[in-house]
Amino acid sequence: MRQYFSLLVISFTVFILTIPAISFAQNPIVDDISDESQANYLLANIKGVKFISHPLFEGGLYINSFVIDDSKATPAGFFEETDEILSSILITCQPDGDYYTKSKLYKITGLENPEILSFKEGVFPEIIVEVEHGKALKRKREYFKIVGI
């Protein structure tokens, strides 16, 4: 019996020590996606993050939003004698779960110093985005309607 117990302990120890060697985790890979110029442009110009995984419709949709510096959206001569550029807002709407293929990506362009105030639920899946933008003393509040899925 004692030999059987010792053999069992040794077998169990060997099994426990080999688990990390035969891990079933995926090996991470680094891909250089610099050539995807639109994605690189958007990510490189992120200026701020307002909402991450913000739930709407009782967790049926999740919102992410980013403010980016957007030189491509700034008309020549818009800001006289300065190096300022307009901003844009990127908004992703993703249904609950791993359904990124059903997600939506929106870009609201041509905003001066924007601030995302809120996301309000409309009739599912409509979302109202409340944004304030403009010069310091001439701020304007606008509402944009987007469809979540």
Per-position DSSP letters for 82-98, written without gaps between them: S----EEEEEEEEETTT
Where is average pLDDT lowest: 26-35, 41-50, 128-137? 26-35
Q: Please enumerate in sequence order all residues whose Cβ is within 8 A of that of 92, keeping only pairs 6 or more positions apart, or say none.
A: 63, 64, 65, 103, 104, 105, 106
pLDDT in tens, 67-81: 999 988 888 888 888
Written as six digits, the tokens of 106 are 């929106």
pLDDT at 35 over 90: no
Sequence spans of domains, the chain = 44-147
Residue 14 has pLDDT above 70, yes or no: no
In this prediction, residues 13-21 reach a mean pLDDT of 52
pLDDT grade, residue 28 (50/70/90)? confident
CB 50 within 8 Å of CB 67: yes
Instruction: Give the distance from CA 57 to its chain's centroid.
Output: 18
For the whole model, what pTM was predicted? 0.74
Distance between CA atoms of residues 40 and 20, nearest Å: 36
Band the pLDDT of 23: cuts 50, 70, 90: low
- How many other C-beta atoms are found inside a 10 Å radius of the C-beta of residue 41? 13
The answer to whether the CB of 67 falls within 8 A of the CB of 91 is no
Does the pLDDT at position 5 exceed 50? no
Q: What is the DSSP string of 35-69?
A: T-HHHHHHHHTEEEEEEEEEEETTTTEEEEEEEEE
24 pLDDT more than 80: no
Higher pLDDT, 97 or 120: 120
